[in-house]
Amino acid sequence: MSTLDFDIIIVGFGPVGGTLANLLAMNNLSVLILEKEAGLYNLPRAVHFDDEVMRVFQTIGITKSLVKKLIINKGTRFLDEKGKLILDWPRPKVITENGWYPSYRFHQPDLEKILRQKLKTYDKVITLQNSEVVKTINHKNFSAVEYKNLKTGNIFSVRSKYVIGCDGANSFIRDEMKTEMEHLGFEQRWAVIDLILKTKNINLPDRTIQYCNSKRPTTYCRNVGRRRRWEIALKENESTENFFKDKTLWNFLSQWISEEDAKIERRTVYTFQSAIAKKWKKGRLFLVGDAAHLTPPFMGQGMCAGIRDASNLAWKINISCKIGHNEKLLKSYQSERSSNVRDYINTAMKMGELLNSIGGSNVSDTVYLQKDGTIKMNSIKPKLGEGLGNSIDKNRGKIFPSFKFNFNKEFDDLFSCDPILITNKEIKNKKFKISTYNVSDIPEIEEILKSFNTNSLIIRPDRFVLGSTDKTDLRDFSQLCLKDIYNIG
């Protein structure tokens, strides 16, 4: 076989595709990004991400630029038709185990510009706009892609080790894989209205408010700067054209704001859905983000789920590119991610039922009654699904915390490409498959190991624990944990 054109072809250049491209590029892989749009879409879409996603952005090195464009999200309140609090989901302003605040608001074009600027620092990344994929061919050792230049109409063919569809809810790559969507039961049309305030002195909530109503459920979002959003459920046969007429729309918004207070930046309709693709991988084709799953927006987890996909898949693709295709390793992508995202979708669906006034406040097992009678909710943190590692290991699949050592050095920087082993045991033979750090190297490791109630941990590049042990034979332990990653034994 002749030399391939690229290691990876990514189809779609939104936040998920841009994040995945950065994660692959930092592993020194060659990447081609194909995007059918002519340029960056400069209007709001996704508006929220969490601490776990921010840690991924830290991994690729964009947080210094990004933090200037964010606000910290204070949480969400669900109110009934009389304005009474039904459920409170606060996001306390405290640093989490991931090293960041629990929740952020952002403007999607800001994030996309920063992701794209970072990609320009890599010599092996090529981005082609106005390029629509029209065909994919799965071969045993590579994939071929045909794409059309939408300016000239010319068709080109390129080959790579893997093709990854980050091309959204109407994914072409998903169609090429001939996989069906499993629909989970939620489907509603909602109007999404983005506004920019003309002045700062307007009395609007400083957090997200879910107005629960059986006739017209509505969501209000406090976004960055002077941006605000209303999401409004449309009735079954309601005309979008009529609802979007200025008089009708401003009449509805007059409960909160007037035409003199703000200008409308964007008005559109989304069909909020809950669905998961039955196959996320076929041969050397993969689905990531909305191409693989759709979630109602009530938890703000749509883009977050896609970034988690990218983080899970990137290091597995990296290893498969560098040491050879590993089917078992790559199959673990769907098994680990699909159950995790399903938990988020199910919780978002229950929130949607509460918002539509057809469900109760017990939207997850993190809901609790306070002494003052109010009902609160903590954020859910679903574990990884079954995949790599021993499923009976109590620490397998847990998030490994972010921490600093040696005068403010980030521990995360030590393992962005391959797993590592940390231990409080004496290491006599350091000829392991992976890098190893002892408490004598980094004293802070001792307290971390105590928090996991173990003597040794292997941590994956996506910051999850692969395995733990109290045994002294670390060579056998590491080989057992890593056999499916590096095809050992």
Digitized pLDDT (tens) for each residue of the chain, 489 residues in all? 357 999 999 999 999 999 999 999 999 999 999 999 999 999 999 999 999 999 999 999 999 999 999 999 999 999 999 999 999 999 999 999 999 999 999 999 999 999 999 999 999 999 999 999 999 999 999 999 999 999 999 999 999 999 999 999 999 999 999 999 999 999 999 999 999 999 988 999 999 999 999 999 999 999 999 999 999 999 999 999 999 999 999 999 999 999 999 999 999 999 999 999 999 999 999 999 999 999 999 999 999 999 999 999 999 999 999 999 999 999 999 999 999 999 999 999 999 999 999 999 999 999 999 988 889 999 999 989 999 999 999 999 999 999 999 888 999 999 988 999 999 998 776 666 789 999 999 999 999 999 999 999 999 999 999 999 999 889 889 999 999 999 875
Q: In whole angstroms, what is the distance from residue 155 CA to residue 149 CA?
A: 6
Q: In whole angstroms, what is the distance from residue 73 CA to residue 129 CA?
A: 33
Q: In whole angstroms, what is the distance from residue 190 CA to residue 188 CA?
A: 6
Do residues 369 and 355 lie in contact, with contact meaning Cβ atoms separated by under 8 Å?
A: no
Q: In whole angstroms, what is the distance from residue 149 CA to residue 130 CA?
A: 6
The most distant pair of C-alpha atoms in the chain lies apart, rounded to whole Å, by 77
The secondary structure element, H or E, covering residue 159 is: strand 155-165
Interval 270-280: pLDDT, tens? 999 999 999 99
pTM over 0.85: yes
Give the domains, in start order, of the chain with CATH numbers. Answer: 6-72+105-181+275-344 (3.50.50.60), 404-486 (3.40.30)
Q: In whole angstroms, what is the distance from residue 444 CA to residue 411 CA?
A: 10
Q: Where do we find the tokens 């095809």? A: 487
Beta-carbon neighbour count of residue 430 at 10 Å? Answer: 10
Do residues 78 and 377 lie in contact, with contact meaning Cβ atoms separated by under 8 Å?
A: no
Q: In whole angstroms, what is the distance from residue 301 CA to residue 77 CA?
A: 17
DSSP characters over 17-33: HHHHHHHHHTTT--EEE
Cα angle, residue 135 at apex, residues 26 and 151 outer, rounded to 5°: 80
| Per-residue tokens: 369 | 């009654």
In one letter, which amino acid is 5? Answer: D
In terms of C-beta density within 10 A (0-12 exposed, 13-18 middle, 19 or more buried), how is residue 73 classed? buried
**Sequence-ordered list of residues with C-beta below 8 angstroms from that of 286, at least 6 positions apart, any chain:** 162, 163, 164, 165, 280, 313, 330, 333
> How far apart are the two ends of the chain, measured CA to CA in Å?
28
Do residues 413 and 475 lie in contact, with contact meaning Cβ atoms separated by under 8 Å?
A: no
Q: Which of 229, 217, 159 is nearest to 189 (CA)?
A: 217
**Sequence-ordered list of residues with C-beta below 8 angstroms from that of 480, at least 6 positions apart, any chain:** 467
**Sequence-ordered list of residues with C-beta below 8 angstroms from that of 466, at least 6 positions apart, any chain:** 388, 389, 396, 419, 458, 459, 460, 481, 482
